[in-house]
Amino acid sequence: MDGMSGLAGITEGVANHFGKIHTLKTGTIITYTTKLGTRSYTVRSVSKVLYTDTSGTCASDENCLTLYTCVMDQPTYRWCVQAAEI
């Protein structure tokens, strides 16, 4: 899909795929595969935002990916990773 794509995940349990997204560095490559194909994105930013901040899901003319997950022991915050297609 073109435009902005957003994913949210959890940081606990067996399927803890988002548990360390806050450790990603600017420039890290993220590969995202769906039944429609595979796309690669470069991390632009990693930030801690309020749980009410949904600015990462705004419409975009650019192909980009935003990842959200909770911050351990800080229920009012979320980690937000924003990346742009390569």
Categorize the per-residue pLDDT at 1 as very low, low, confident or very high, splitting at 50, 70 and 90. Answer: low
The 10 Å Cβ neighbour count of residue 69 is 22
The 10 Å Cβ neighbour count of residue 19 is 17
DSSP-assigned letter for residue 16: -
Does the pLDDT at position 83 exceed 80? yes
**pLDDT (tens digit, 9 = 90+) per residue, 7-39?**
999 877 766 788 899 999 999 999 999 999 999
Give the per-residue pLDDT at 52: 96
Give the per-residue pLDDT at 86: 95
Is 31 within 8 Å of 83 (Cβ atoms)? no
Q: Which long-range contacts (CB under 8 A, 24 or more apart) does 30-38 make?
A: 30/65, 30/67, 30/81, 30/83, 32/5, 32/7, 32/65, 36/1
